[in-house]
Chain A
Amino acid sequence: AQTVTQSQPEMSVQEAETVTLSCTYDTSENNYYLFWYKQPPSRQMILVIRQEAYKQQNATENRFSVNFQKAAKSFSLKISDSQLGDTAMYFCASRTSGTYKYIFGTGTRLKVLA
């Protein structure tokens, strides 16, 4: 069965610094997609970044980038120049191609300190 593991329940970072959130996953499939979602204290979950497993190039969205290590089944999120608005719960998720279901990790609560 697919699993997604986030081993850091809580993290903090100083404003303007860089932080990396870890995520590992386990799948026997070749075609799958990986996601990072952000849930701010207001609760609405939003998609931060997405990675297709067949693409070797790491996805980037402004200050957010991923380090995708397919052989190691690792999918970490790097946030550069952290801002107070980045304070949120972050969830890593995976989805196998051809299926509807996403598998979510347990989340990492990130606090950006002024």
Chain B
Amino acid sequence: DVKVTQSSRYLVKRTGEKVFLECVQDMDHENMFWYRQDPGLGLRLIYFSYDVKMKEKGDIPEGYSVSREKKERFSLILESASTNQTSMYLCASSFAGNYGYTFGSGTRLTVV
């Protein structure tokens, strides 16, 4: 069964901490994505990557960075966590084509 695995289901961090959210896929997908999901706002794209070491900004990249050193792993980094980054974070991957995403289970991050 194909999978996108997010390392943490729940995470609580303090303001100002550097936070790493990890995502691993086992489907040899070229594309990987990070979204945040907030009530009433749907899913908003933070960053995506279409190849190893390649990345592009999405709609809300401020305060975030990403790393993709290997094809199967895509990390989201909050350089200095703030309370307005409290959210559900969803990782997804896809082939380079017309297929839909495969999503991870999500990480609910709370910044206190």
Interface residues of A (CB under 8 A from B): 9, 33, 35, 37, 42-47, 50, 52, 91, 95, 97, 100-102, 104-107
Contact = CB atoms under 8 A, between A and B. Distances in A.
Contacts, number: 48
Interface stretch (B13-21, B40-48, B61-69, B74-82): B40-48
A9 B68 CA distance: 36
Nearest to A49: B100
A20 B44 CA distance: 25
Interface of B: 31, 33, 35, 40-45, 48, 50, 56, 58, 88, 90, 92, 98, 100-106
B100 A50 contact: yes
B101 A47 contact: yes
Given A45-B90, A97-B98, A100-B48, A106 B41 contact: yes
Given A101-B58, A106-B40, A44 B100 contact: no
A44 B42 contact: no
A102 B101 contact: yes
A100 B50 contact: yes
